[in-house]
Structure 1
Amino acid sequence: MGSTTCPYISPDLVGMIGRQHKTTTLGFFLVILLITAITVQWMDMNILSGGFQRTSNSFFPEVSCSTACPQRTVLVPEAARTSESTEACPEYFRWIHEDLKPWKATGITREMVEKAGEVAHIRVLVVSGVLYVEKFKKVFQTRDMVTLWGILQLLTLYPGRVPDLDLMFELGDIPVIRKRAHRASAPPPLFHYCGDDLSHDIVFPDWSFWGWPELKIRPWEVLKKELQDSNEARKWEDREPFAYWKGNTKLSLARRDLAKCNATYQDWNARIYDVDWYREKRQRFNTSSLVNQCTHRYKIYVEGISWSVSQKYILACDSMSLFINPHYYDFFTRSLIPTVHFWPISENDKCRSIKYAVDWGNAHPKQAKGIGRSGSKYVHEKLMMKYVYDYMFHLLQEYSKLLRYQPSVPEGAVEVCHEALICSVKGLRKKYRLNSMVNNASESSPCSLPLPSSLQNLQAFLDKKSGLIRQVELREVAKENSSQAQR
């Protein structure tokens, strides 16, 4: 295999520059040590399976620690060239069509993409199977690097099958492309971690699926297994019969309001714990482990600045999830159904609504346990990393079909590869990347993308969700009226 290298990554890209060795002897010694350490960690990665487990038949070379990207030949498994998947994707994949609908008639031009660059943090390109990035502005923590890492894993899982791409990413919390500003023309296409009913942002899996080292949150495939073990260790009936939430109450008005539901002056059946992340960091996050938080029959989800990555962790606990009327969604949550996967909570009367939910659940334990189990099953089975990658694959495939030009690498973009993203970091950042690394190309195809929903079916689904929420609201009102009549 050739030995030509890509350009060094510019210093303003966090963590992507490694150190050059001062002497040949020292450099060789360090490379041997690093390769040995990485090999040991790979041997311990036995919880991942299938295409995510290293075998002797790997299509890709082992990582050699260098921040220079080696030249590679993309090899596509023979089975993948001809196979067609018979597995249907989960239902939430249908939202891909809805997210891309604004460009169905016009397509996407280079000018549209570059217009999105005015508000984007990074530009991401795939050209002939190689990943490139151009950075525009500073990103919070390492969201950009971890997002790029996730895309690299997709390219490894489905080599030669991801089309040439040119897309802009906004890596903040709040959707940017407002619908009201683009009523007369197609909006600029912008990828983002979440969306809402007022925006055109294209929803993409967030960075936390590959780990959040700054908060010591492990990659999703690893953490999901640990949460599953925790669920089996403490059954629903043996948990505290209250609603639990732990987080930063200062992030939003909704969270500050939720803090008033704590059992300080009146017991609303809620146990609310404020988190000071600076103190948690000093204590090495020993009191904020997500695995140790599946201890109550009910868990509360409340948005912060916008959506929160905590939603999947809350759902995964087997507890009945209490959602305080979300205004934002990520890629998998729009297909969740009230009273099936979660219990809706009024944002205007949170405390009373939470008390009603807990009282109802404790009086109907079989139904409450079933809702908790249904929500947990949804994320454990329909949000496996296999499906996260398949969602990315289909979203990018459908996006590429809309491009009206051939993507090319712009001046200022740099190549991104596994070597650069692994060898330029240490500690948890390196550990999480190794733990979430896709080691083999898949020999099977991605699941089959479902067809778009008709307008009639989509509206019927939305009406069904609204109707179920309204039923809960009416039951809460009836309970309150009955209580007042007895006073």
Structure 2
Amino acid sequence: MKENNISQVLHGNDIYGSGLSRHSPDAIWRSFTKSSTRSIVVLVFSVLLIVGAFACTHLLDPIIILGNFGSKAAATTQLYDTFPRRPNKPQKKVEIPINCAAYNLTGTCPSDYPTPFQPDDDPNRPSTTPTCPDYFRWIHEDLRPWARSGITKDMVERARQTANFKLVILNGKAYLETFEKAFQTRDVFTLWGILQLLRRYPGKLPDLELMFDCVDWPVVQSEQYSGSNASGPPPLFRYCGNDATLDIVFPDWSFWGWAEVNIKPWEIVVGELKEGNKRIGWMNREPYAYWKGNPTVAETRQDLMKCDVTQGQEWNARLYAQDWGRESQEGYKHSDLANQCTHRYKIYIEGSAWSVSEKYILACDSVTLMVTPHFYDFFTRGLIPLYHYWPIKEYDKCRSIKYAVDWGNSHQQKAQAIGKAASDFIQEELKMDYVYDYMFHLLNSYAKLFRYKPTKSEAAKELCVEAMVCKAEGNEQKFMMESMVDSPANTNPCTMPPPYDPPSLHANLRRKETTIQQVDFWDKQGP
């Protein structure tokens, strides 16, 4: 049987057990019947009273002066400092304040921002630095075009041609030079995210310059930089890439919020999606494939709409065109992502290039039906077909979707496992801690390739949190406040995995290709 060729995903159940031995106070007291024993008890209680009085006397001072601290955290700090610290005591949280009053008055960023900070390297504390998820290995591949030549000033300046902005980091501070305003607030929240990285790991990033293009599709064609006489490619950062380009992929703006469509910062949304998954179990969901989005941005999406049940043919798909203008007027009542995990299957299809929607779809516990993608973002190269998603043929979408849904409804445990593996990946390997660590390792590795000392131009202006949040309004300011890093991380970034060696990289890509070909074969054979 064809279905036996699909690797089964096994999930173990965590079993938690606890026991508590209870004894009656009366039974304990009845054991003290002899007068000699009573004497001992009296003596013990007397000692305890003396010790208690002594302890209260020494605790009294810090408690009395709480009013002088002005905050609960400060009082706790004073209390901790009164006694010897335990080896594994959590490190004191160091908050990074913002001061809009001072910024609005002077228009200048704080002179002492950001404050260098080092985690508490207590040798008695167990190491909490994990190894980064496997998709971090693609950082090595994205920077490979400059591994031998390094990055020169000329290369960076040639990336200016399509860039929206140039960002310079010097001594832990950011300086911005804007060339062209990006669509909506893509550039705003991308820059905001980088500022949060500097707050999370202050003083840890080396000096660097980078050019960033906020348009969807990659533009640095690899064929233009091949051959012995070719010049080095310009290092251009953006949100996605493909196999024919050399653009450096970077986490997209929506991780800190998408103000125009009311999508909250990722840390909030991923929690809401986790709760949304609990409302309707997979078995109780609609046994169809669901998609909702803007079909006008790409021909492939317009073609997808032909698979809707309203076309007179049952292709097991329920498709809805999203009118963002109407949604905005109605207060986004019908676009809450956490309320869209109601079908057993959800379709991911690209727009003009990669789509922001991918991570939200994968997080739904539903089986992601992924129409053949041509682009990748920073984490999707870590996804495995038939384990994290079911591949759908681009040029035979309707029949391919119908086959996938029919197969899943006939093999419910296996289908459910695919959906669970994807949502587990999103919850565990794409949490904001790892998003920041990916940014850190990418920029740190990028900076090591520089063959010159980065500098800022006269046109560049210092950029800080105050410069952005103090003048923001509405959702823009709300999402900034919700996604703000208010203190440095208590741990170092995760440990980078090594790069692929050529044979293992080839084997990895070949396995994915073979799996997709196998699904294509089953699809052609029919149910």
TM exceeds 0.5? yes
State the Cα deviation string for residues 313-362 of structure 1 (Å, max 9, x = none): 00000000000000000000011000000000000100000000000000
Q: Secondary structure at the match of 2:509?
A: helix
User: Within 5 A, what are the aligned runs for 1:206-285?
Assistant: 206-264=252-310, 265-285=312-332
User: Within 5 A, what are the aligned runs for 1:100-115?
Assistant: 100-115=143-158
Distance 1:80 1:161 in 2: 15
Matched with 2:382 is 335
The alpha-carbon deviation at position 244 of structure 1 amounts to 0.1
Q: Name which of 440, 444, 449 aligns with 2:487.
A: 440
Matched with 1:312 is 359
Distance 2:360 2:113 in 1: 38
Matched with 1:58 is 94
CA contact (8 A) 2:181 2:187 kept: no
The alpha-carbon deviation at position 443 of structure 1 amounts to 1.9
Comparing both chains, which one has the higher relative contact order based on Cα–Cα distances under 8 Å and sequence gaps of 6 or more? 1
The alpha-carbon deviation at position 86 of structure 1 amounts to 4.0
The alpha-carbon deviation at position 306 of structure 1 amounts to 0.2
Q: Secondary structure at the match of 1:463?
A: helix
Q: Name which of 130, 134, 153 aligns with 1:87.
A: 130
Distance 2:249 2:152 in 1: 20
Gaps of 5+ in 1: 1-38, 40-54, 481-487
Q: Name which of 348, 361, 364 aligns with 2:395.
A: 348
Matched with 1:27 is none
Distance 2:92 2:117 in 1: 14
**Number of residue-to-residue matches in the alignment:** 427
Which amino acid is 1:357 matched to? A
The alpha-carbon deviation at position 292 of structure 1 amounts to 1.0
The alpha-carbon deviation at position 420 of structure 1 amounts to 1.3
* 2:409 is aligned with 1:362: yes
Distance 1:110 1:77 in 2: 30
Q: Secondary structure at the match of 1:160?
A: coil
Gaps of 5+ in 2: 1-70, 72-90
Matched with 2:181 is 138
State the Cα deviation string for residues 64-107 of structure 1 (Å, max 9, x = none): 34353121154333436799864100000000000000000100
Matched with 1:204 is 250
Which amino acid is 1:106 matched to? S
Q: Secondary structure at the match of 1:350?
A: helix
CA contact (8 A) 2:129 2:491 kept: no
Distance 2:248 2:290 in 1: 32
Matched with 2:435 is 388
Which amino acid is 2:297 matched to? L
Matched with 1:160 is 203
Percent identical among aligned pairs is 51
Q: Name which of 110, 117, 131 aligns with 1:77.
A: 117
Distance 2:359 2:284 in 1: 22
Matched with 1:426 is 473
User: Within 5 A, what are the aligned runs for 1:407-418?
Assistant: 407-418=454-465
State the Cα deviation string for residues 231-258 of structure 1 (Å, max 9, x = none): 0111101100000000001110110000
CA RMSD of aligned residues (A): 1.6
* Higher CA-based Rg: 2
Extract structure 1 runs of 4+ deviating beyond 3 A: 73-78, 80-86
Distance 1:307 1:454 in 2: 27
CA contact (8 A) 1:298 1:320 kept: yes
Q: Name which of 511, 514, 518 aligns with 1:467.
A: 514
Report the TM-score, using the length of structure 1 for normalisation: 0.85
Q: Secondary structure at the match of 1:250?
A: helix
CA contact (8 A) 1:193 1:203 kept: yes
CA contact (8 A) 1:320 1:368 kept: yes
Of 156-165 and 284-293, the range deviating more from structure 2:
284-293
Matched with 1:174 is 217
Of 67-76 and 445-454, the range deviating more from structure 2:
67-76
Q: Secondary structure at the match of 2:235?
A: coil
Q: Name which of 325, 347, 351 aligns with 2:372.
A: 325
Q: Secondary structure at the match of 1:214?
A: helix
CA contact (8 A) 1:177 1:200 kept: yes
Which amino acid is 1:247 matched to? G
Q: Secondary structure at the match of 1:260?
A: helix
Q: Secondary structure at the match of 2:119?
A: helix
State the Cα deviation string for residues 277-311 of structure 1 (Å, max 9, x = none): 11111112111111111000000000000000100
Distance 1:137 1:117 in 2: 10
Which amino acid is 2:247 matched to? D
Which amino acid is 1:229 matched to? E
Matched with 1:476 is 523
Q: Name which of 449, 468, 471 aligns with 2:496.
A: 449
Distance 1:333 1:80 in 2: 34
Report the TM-score, using the length of structure 2 for normalisation: 0.79
Matched with 2:350 is 303
